[in-house]
Chains A and B, each alone.
Chain A
Amino acid sequence: MGLAENQVSFDLLESYLEKKNPEGSMWGSKGALGFRENALFQDYHGLKSFRQAMASFMEQIRGGKARFDPDRIVLTAGATAANELLTFILADPNDALLVPTPYYPGFDRDLRWRTGVKIVPIHCDSSNHFQITPEALESACQTAHDANIRVRGVLITNPSNPLGATVQKKVLEDLLDFCVRKNIHLVSDEIYSGSVFHASEFTSVAEIVENIDDVTVKERVHIVYSFSKDLGLPGFRVGTIYSYNDSVVRTARRMSSFTLVSSQTQHMLASMLSDEEFTEKYIRINRERLLRRYETIVEGLKKAGIECFKGNAGLFCWMNLSFLLDKKTKDGELELWDVILKELKLNISPGSSCHCSEYGWFRVCFANMSENTLEIALKRIHEFMDQRRRFLII
């Protein structure tokens, strides 16, 4: 009786929905009977069946190379909320997280707006395929130290957005060592883990931790995941924080009350994801289709004389247009972006918005339109490049 919940007139809703909403399937396998459970359920632990389904889906993506405990899964309304929540928990205002560039522009909002935490970039460049080097890590730490800012953790995206490439196992191991030495956290945003073209090429930080017994090492590792990218369900708002740290799990769970996943959504997806045959097939076919799209776009760009970064994951490719820049500066890049938007009528993302230290790189997404549309986009690029070549020759 400590719960101010209204069940007095529940039956009115139940009967209305049964009559008017024959899609009882909305409530999972129990149909309209499931409505009562759904509507009233608001435990921030989340439905056990849903967490189990999510854990097993994450295991399948990693080919069984790591196990996930459903009790360590904290549900949030999207990865955006998960990243923000982790930042609140791991850092205080005016502390910093180290993030390798180029990075997802949304981090500037998710990690900073309400938390008051700063981002100190770890500069990566094309000389070594934008990989994180120990020197770059030390340099970022030094920058923070010089500005009197306390570093609380490193946040990486694996596979990377916007590069569209997985992080190598050796780099992950070095990164974990670095975090242990500096006594900081490691957050791995693996939201594109199901979108790696060849499963064998992806190493999750979970795999590395799997073989470690030392709790003081394990408990600095946290993973963020969401169904928005791999399942194409961004509107559902389902994200998770998976942490090896008990206090973080407990705190995150309590704070997730601001960003809970709708129980109806949990039920819906729990049914779908517990069907292992379906999920196995889905993951495989999704990967094949993404690979085909990627190859189409990279080939198409190559024919137009444009090179892309060699990627192996994600819903986008990282294209190099530096040779088209009048001046290799941020303004030069934005001018080119403007031309592409206005004349080619293509909206792509400039590298500067991802804080890339080299100018001229652009991210091009390929999974949110039909094949026809993609062809048309490529055609426009071809025409533009042809025109340009003719112009240069003249």
Chain B
Amino acid sequence: MTRTGIYRNRSGTSDSETSGDDGGGGTTVMRVIVPLQGVVQGRGGLVLGSVIPCAFFYFLQFYLKRNRRDEPEPDPDNQNSASSPGSEPNNSDSSSELTVLSRSLSRVVTSPRNSGTHVSVSGRANSILRGGDSPGKKRVEEDPYDELDNPDGIIELGLAQNKDLVSDYSKEETSIGLSLSGIASYEPSDGLMELKMVVARLMSEATKNTVSFDPSQLVLTSGAAAAVEILSFCLADSGNAFLVPTPCSPGFDADVKWRNGVEIIHVPCRSSDNFNISVTTLDRAFSQAKKRGVRIRGIIISNPSNPMGSLLSRENLYAILDFTREKNIHIISNEIFAGSTHGDEEAEFVSIAEIADTEETFDKERVHIVYDLSKDLSFPGLRTGAIYSFNENVLAASRKLTTFSPVSSPSQHLLISAISKPEFIQTYVKTNRQRLQRIYSEFVKGLKSLGIECTRSNGGLFCWADMRGLISSYSEKGEIELWNKFLNIGKINITPGSSCHCIEPGWFRFCFSNLSEKDVLVVMNRIRKVCETCKSQD
């Protein structure tokens, strides 16, 4: 509790400094009243004495905020007062977090790059963390009975598993030559370490090995949807919200909202900005939510983005991370298409992990990544997603929650044996990228020849096409009409921008990754047919 006090004192001190006279005693109220009195009585000296320091303070803040990105070591005092008002609402809620994380907190107080309180996890996650495992289970793990090696060990009679009676029978009789031993039993629901090592390597490969991912910070789930759901549960309580820049993946609505009771506040990005995420709009959305009494717990971005397929620049990522630090919220980076980047060499994929690596430990705790083997490796049926986090509490709570969304054991073993060779991963990712690039350029060229422009895409399995010229009315209705035409006349199923919550009607997502080069021609012909129908109707 004392620590919370320290923050309050700091902001208290700087507030009183700005209200004018720093000489003399008296309450803050007096200091406001005195200058006003001075104004009334025409004593300009006091007016100047109060107005000028105020103005100076505000301009200094403005200047520092704008330039903070370029300064790795900004003025600590001003940094504190800038961030503590923002973090104040979290002080009381995170005080329990403060006591838990006391060791790192002392670093916060003394280190120069001191930028605010620890970001908190949800109350729900905390109560899950408090419930421990059964003590008997731990003791058995420490001292397990073995006929030869440990005859005095503890015999496990608390596990309702049909192991001995079934296993040899299954081995004899199954006609499909399955070897069940070693894969049939209960395993840690957050995935085998060998598979985590493979996933970590894949994720590294996607960043061209600029980031090295630690397998012990991975939690495997049955697909990316489960990963996003679990993270939403751990980071936000019911009634809280996440900021999601749009257009976004259509799946987030289900993953975040359905079973968690967490809201999504869409932050629209515009074609005039190339659909880039601007911190100004994020800030505006955050303040509007706060006014309505909605607590924002984090922001969810996709990189490469879905549906645009664009790669977020390093500067943009820094700015977004700064924003989350300032508001003391989390960031979930959906990087499921990280291995599916293609195109020009200058466009590089930068993982949020790389940006986070440059931060202090307590700031990394707000960064979480979602990954999915299914997109990069074409394995959607095997259901293997992952949460990568720098936050121990989130990892611990997520591990427990994977009991509801675990990865199937035979699939884990298959993946381990199939893709653990580093050469395979390298070759695969490289070839995958080349092929995606080929199909992508064919596809975009084809669309261009039909008069349809796409935004520049360097990642993902799709392109984002501007078909505003083809819709009958500039509205969602017009967009859906066009979508219907594509489906019924063109016999092509594409995703309308409204499903991605795009605020501008007329944009569509085309996924090209399950097409061969021959198919591209077929698709182009069909699209031409639809375009002609639209033009003739005009």
Contact = CB atoms under 8 A, between A and B. Distances in A.
Contact of B164 (A257, A345, A370): A370
Nearest to B509: A2
A261 interface: yes
B176 A12 contact: no
Interface stretch (B95-103, B155-163, B268-276, B473-481): B155-163
B183 interface: yes
Interface of A: 1-10, 12-13, 16-17, 20-21, 23, 25-26, 28-29, 38-42, 77-78, 80-81, 84, 88, 93, 105, 109-110, 113-116, 161, 195, 228-238, 254-255, 257-265, 268, 271-272, 275, 278, 281-282, 285-286, 289-290, 293, 314-316, 337, 341, 345-349, 353, 363-373, 376-377, 380
Contacts of B435: 8-9
A346 B460 contact: no
B163 A369 contact: yes
Interface in B339-359: 340
B223 to A, nearest CB: 6
Given A366-B157, A372-B147, A235 B183 contact: yes
Nearest to B258: A255
- Give the 4 A-B residue pairs with the shortest CB-CB distance, closest first: A263-B381, A235-B409, A232-B166, A262-B408
B160 A314 contact: yes
Contacts of B185: 234-235
B254 to A, nearest CB: 7
Contacts of A372: 147
B157 A255 contact: no
Interface in B103-143: 124, 128, 131, 134, 136-137, 139-140, 143
A113 B234 CA distance: 12
B513 A377 contact: no
Contact of B153 (A263, A281, A345): A345
Contacts of A235: 183-187, 408-410
A265 B410 CA distance: 7
B411 interface: yes
21 contacts: A1-B512, A8-B436, A12-B428, A20-B418, A25-B177, A26-B414, A28-B176, A39-B380, A40-B378, A115-B259, A231-B166, A234-B184, A257-B225, A258-B405, A263-B383, A272-B175, A290-B165, A337-B136, A364-B157, A368-B163, A376-B151
Contact of A278 (B161, B173, B408): B173
Contacts of A286: 162, 165-166, 169
A12 B137 contact: no
Interface of B: 124, 128, 131, 134, 136-137, 139-140, 143, 145, 147, 151-167, 169-170, 173-178, 180, 183-187, 222-223, 225-226, 229, 233, 238, 254-255, 258-261, 306, 340, 374-383, 401, 403-411, 414, 417-418, 424, 427-428, 431-432, 435-436, 439, 460-462, 492-495, 509-515, 523
A282 B173 contact: yes
Contacts of B178: 25-26, 268, 272
Contacts of B514: 1, 3, 5-8
A369 B417 CA distance: 28
A42 B495 contact: no
A41 B134 CA distance: 37
A235 B184 CA distance: 5
A290 B381 CA distance: 35
Contacts of A234: 161, 184-186
Given A39-B378, A347-B136, A347-B140, A236 B184 contact: yes
Given A77-B408, A116-B238, A258-B223, A6 B163 contact: no
Contacts of B383: 42, 77, 260-263
Given A235-B408, A265-B408, 19 more contacts: A5-B374, A6-B377, A8-B432, A13-B379, A16-B424, A234-B186, A238-B408, A258-B404, A262-B381, A262-B382, A264-B410, A278-B174, A278-B175, A285-B169, A286-B169, A345-B152, A345-B155, A347-B156, A377-B157
B177 A23 contact: yes
A114 B401 contact: yes
B184 A259 contact: no
A264 B411 contact: yes
Contacts of B407: 237, 262
Contacts of B254: 254, 257
Contacts of A347: 136-137, 139-140, 154-158
Given A26-B414, A264-B382, A368-B163, A4 B511 contact: yes
A112 B144 CA distance: 31
Nearest to A285: B169
A229 B160 contact: yes
Contact of B404 (A21, A80, A337, A370): A80
A360 B494 CA distance: 63
B144 to A, nearest CB: 10
Contact of B461 (A4, A38, A337, A345): A4
A88 B254 CA distance: 14
Contacts of B439: 8
B223 A260 contact: yes
Contacts of A264: 381-382, 408, 410-411, 414
